[in-house]
Structure 1
């Protein structure tokens, strides 16, 4: 397998775009090569097989979704109260929603994982680690709320993002903002 990391990253980004646009069934080496604008056969030089491509695309989505150090540092600024949790949830929904292709690709990968045990074996611990990291970060940061509240917020915000990206007419922008506010108010104690 080839080791040019910039080319590998570009191919994985192309795979994410193909997944978002065509779904898992449309993800072929040929489609990735075309999306990346590289000669035919390039993707097959970097990935052992389609399962390898699917798995590594999932890893790449998370590389893009991870907040950078500046975003993490900014999240710790100011008071650590319910209002701050509201701000953070609004920022999360906005940040993740702006990476439309990645989030839609991740949804495709999750669906494909129901049919591919190997992909499920990769995604399950990765997503579990993401949930655990969110809970740990929240609890260690001094923000109000317990592990259950953080888990429920994780689930609620993820589905709100799904609605925004797949059926944006279900909840308008103002209603979506209101739903974030109410979810935090119901799940995070005052003070």
Structure 2
């Protein structure tokens, strides 16, 4: 396997674009090469097979969609209450909205994992690790609620993100007094996270 880390990262990002735009069926090494603007056959020198590429897209997206450390530090200076949880969830929505392609690629990975047991195992492991990290972060930060609160908030935000990125018109005007997505983020947090 070729060892140029910058080229590998560029190919993974190109694979993300292809996956988000064309789905898993459109994710071929040739399509990745074309998206990256490299000679045909380049991707096959960097990835053992499609599953290897899919696993590396998964790893890259969790890094790409992670909170900015400076933004997170600024947010964490606030009191540890529901208002802070709302700010953290708004930051999440902002990151997902700014990197729509990356998150759509993760949604495509979820679908592809239903058909590929090896990918399902590795993707389940990475998503579970993210959820467990979120629970640990919540506990260490002293935020209101426990692991169950984080799990329910995770599921609610996943649904909101899915609607927002794929069918944003579904929620327009459905819940009076809530904007999409900011007002809904606040409503979710208020409904799920205890005051203390």
Which TM-score band (shorter chain)?
Answer: over 0.9
Deviation at 1:30, TM superposition (A): 0.5
Structure-to-structure mapping, 1:1-191, within 5 angstroms:
1-172=1-172, 174-191=179-196
User: When the two structures are aligned, how many residues end up with a matched partner?
Assistant: 191
TM-score normalised according to structure 1 size = 0.95
Unaligned 5+ residue runs, structure 2? 173-177
Greater shift, 88-97 or 32-41, is seen at: 88-97
* Range with greater deviation from structure 2 (181-190 or 102-111): 181-190
Question: What is the DSSP-based 3-state SS (H/G/I as helix, E as strand, rest coil) of the residue aligned with 1:17?
Answer: helix
Tell me, yes or no, if the aligned pair for 2:81 and 2:195 is still in contact at 8 Å: yes
What is the deviation of 1:176? 2.6
Question: Structure 1 residue 131: deviation in Å?
Answer: 0.3
RMSD of aligned C-alpha atoms?
Answer: 1.3
In the alignment, the residues of structure 1 paired with residue 138 and residue 100 of structure 2 have an alpha-carbon distance, to the nearest angstrom, of 25
Gapped runs of 5+ residues in structure 1? Answer: none
With the length of structure 2 as denominator, give the TM-score of the two structures: 0.93
Paired with 1:75 and 1:134, the residues of 2 have a C-alpha distance of 15
Greater relative contact order structure (CA < 8 Å, 6+ sep): 1
Displacement of 1:185: 1.2
Indicate conservation of the 8 Å contact 2:86/2:186, yes or no.
Answer: yes
Partner Cα separation in structure 2 for residue 47 and residue 175 of structure 1: 39
